[in-house]
Structure 1
Amino acid sequence: MVDHPETSSTSLSDKVALVTGAARGIGVEISRELAKLGAHVIVAARDLVKAEQVVSDLRDRGGLASALKLDVTNEADRNAAYHSIEAAHGKLDILINNAGILLDSPDGGTPAPRQPSVALPEVLRDTFEVNFFAPIFLTQLLLPLLTRSDAPRVVNVSSIRGSLAHLSDPTSPVYPVRALGYDTSKAALNAFTILIAEELRGTPIKINAIHPGWVRTEMGGEDAPVGLEEGARTAVKYATLGEDGPTGSFFFLDERLPW
């Protein structure tokens, strides 16, 4: 099924966007694209020095940006982020929950060496802390700032490997990987997307999950076919939805993916 959701034709001037995990991979490219559209991009990462390097690059390109130290699993960091954004901007227009980890295997192109029946507890717990609990807690915390925006957008960077339809389909390319931690954490993130979007349906807030593609990053691996610019495209598309755009759905570009 292919959809063609409405996207904003206006610039993001006067918009404030927070991108987590923004010091590497597609987080950097998402930040570049949002800054190019005129948003003030808050580059959030565990490593403040790396975040500041990204900010320097964005400013050199003519963009507006600031760095924020944010370990998404750390409650104190999350609370500090709220107060920092409120003090500097008074609102938040776009939240991209991009930070994520893959611990089951060396990269996205390598099947998990441990099958689900013998997956390590620490791998499961650590993965869920970053990929599932962190975006929930951060979104909950920042909702008051998002409600101050006239067109708030939340994008949860998920994966086709969180699709139960694909995980159970022997013809799907993700079927043989069986990375219990990563796959189930993204499926859980998808469920959160549905539930909170339904709760907020009828409000200006639009929340969607997206699959960026198999992107050539440290996590994706060198064999991944998708470059950074293309990998950022879906996140930016759903961060800039127009008033008539969808909410509570799962997309790769214009394609609505099965849960």
Structure 2
Amino acid sequence: MKKVLITGGNKSIGFETARQLLQKGYYVYLGSRSLEKGVEAVEKLKGEALFNVEAIVLDVADTASVNAAREEIGRKTDMLDVLINNAGINGGLPMSALEASINQFQAVYETNLFGVVRMVQAFIDLLKKSPTPRIVNVSSSQGSLTLADDPTHKYYQFKGAVYQSSKSALNMYTIALAYQLRDTPFRINAVDPGFTKTDFNNHRGTGSVEEAGARIAKYVLIGADGPTGKYISEEMNPEGGIIPW
């Protein structure tokens, strides 16, 4: 049974992704900053007869928490097949380039970028033991420099300097990571789940969590000939998925 670790897996898109991968036969380590909320999420899934799941206390912005999660999972398994870096924050208001504070930038980067780096570096040894390792970095089309600079882009007027730049940085890390592991079985991609209706955006999104979860799960399930080092948004490009960096 393949094993997947999902950060921020106790709610919204992370939770739905966990549900869909459980339905596909995966064993899920469901990362949650709060043990209570993680256990609640696990019990909800078990109530749907999805039993191969357990909660892991995990705060990606805290190195000690990441290391503790690595030790805990390492006691349970000697191999991890999939890492989904889903946890993220938007930084709150104001988001504009002149008004957003340094503290906002630091907090968002701590989770959206440094948290991913922590997770990859902490779990890479377990991932390397899998014959089919996959890393999905949950990004956003808002991180595309090309689209952000295109006046015809549907979200051109949204200029959240803090959140957008953190996802652009995550995209660059994805490129570098995929390149370093290019001659291995790893498949590593930055995937945009789309503008999804969740509490992350005060339910202003237009897509469903089911659709978002399916988009992430799709790039967990790809075969050896699947893409790697790509930036994918099926919302922006329904035909082929690939969008410009």
Q: Where on the TM-score scale, by shorter chain, does this alignment land: which range?
A: over 0.9
- Alpha-carbon distance between aligned partners in 1 of 2:197 and 2:29, rounded to the nearest angstrom: 24
- Match of 1:255? 241
SS at match of 1:155: strand
- Match of 1:85? 73
- Give 1:122 shift: 0.8
Distance of aligned partners of 1:176 and 1:146 in 2 relative to their CA distance in 1, 3 Å threshold: same
One-letter amino acid of the counterpart of residue 81, structure 1 = A
Q: Which runs of 5+ in 2 are unaligned?
A: 235-239
One-letter amino acid of the counterpart of residue 242, structure 2 = R
CA contact (8 A) 2:96 2:162 kept: no
- Match of 2:149? 168
- Alpha-carbon distance between aligned partners in 1 of 2:76 and 2:177, rounded to the nearest angstrom: 27
- Give 1:59 shift: 2.0
- Alpha-carbon distance between aligned partners in 1 of 2:177 and 2:167, rounded to the nearest angstrom: 15
- Match of 1:74? 62
CA contact (8 A) 1:104 1:180 kept: no
- Give 1:117 shift: 2.2
Deviations 1:217-256 (A, max 9, x none): 0013323110110011111000111010010001124410
- Alpha-carbon distance between aligned partners in 2 of 1:16 and 1:155, rounded to the nearest angstrom: 14
- Alpha-carbon distance between aligned partners in 2 of 1:211 and 1:28, rounded to the nearest angstrom: 16
- Alpha-carbon distance between aligned partners in 1 of 2:117 and 2:180, rounded to the nearest angstrom: 14
- One of 84, 106, 113 as aligned partner of 1:132: 113
- Match of 1:244? 225
TM-score by length of structure 2 reads 0.94
SS at match of 2:113: helix
SS at match of 2:199: coil
- Alpha-carbon distance between aligned partners in 1 of 2:105 and 2:229, rounded to the nearest angstrom: 26
Deviations 1:65-102 (A, max 9, x none): 01001011111111111111111011110100000001
CA contact (8 A) 1:20 1:44 kept: yes
CA contact (8 A) 2:198 2:204 kept: no
SS at match of 1:66: strand
TM-score by length of structure 1 reads 0.89
CA contact (8 A) 1:104 1:182 kept: no
- Alpha-carbon distance between aligned partners in 1 of 2:25 and 2:40, rounded to the nearest angstrom: 19
- Match of 2:35? 48
CA contact (8 A) 1:104 1:181 kept: no
- Give 1:165 shift: 0.6
Note the 1:217-228 alignment, pairs <5 A. 217-228=198-209
SS at match of 1:207: strand
One-letter amino acid of the counterpart of residue 11, structure 2 = R
- Match of 1:23? 10
Note the 1:149-160 alignment, pairs <5 A. 149-160=130-141
CA contact (8 A) 1:104 1:179 kept: no
One-letter amino acid of the counterpart of residue 179, structure 2 = E
Q: What RMSD over aligned residues (CA atoms) do the two structures have, in Å?
A: 1.1
Deviations 1:108-152 (A, max 9, x none): xxxxx4521232111111000010000011111100000011101
- Match of 2:237? none
Q: How many residues end up aligned between the 2 structures?
A: 239
Q: Which runs of 5+ in 1 are unaligned?
A: 1-13, 106-112
Q: Which runs of 4+ in 1 moved over 6 A?
A: none
SS at match of 2:196: coil
Q: Percent of aligned pairs with the same residue?
A: 37
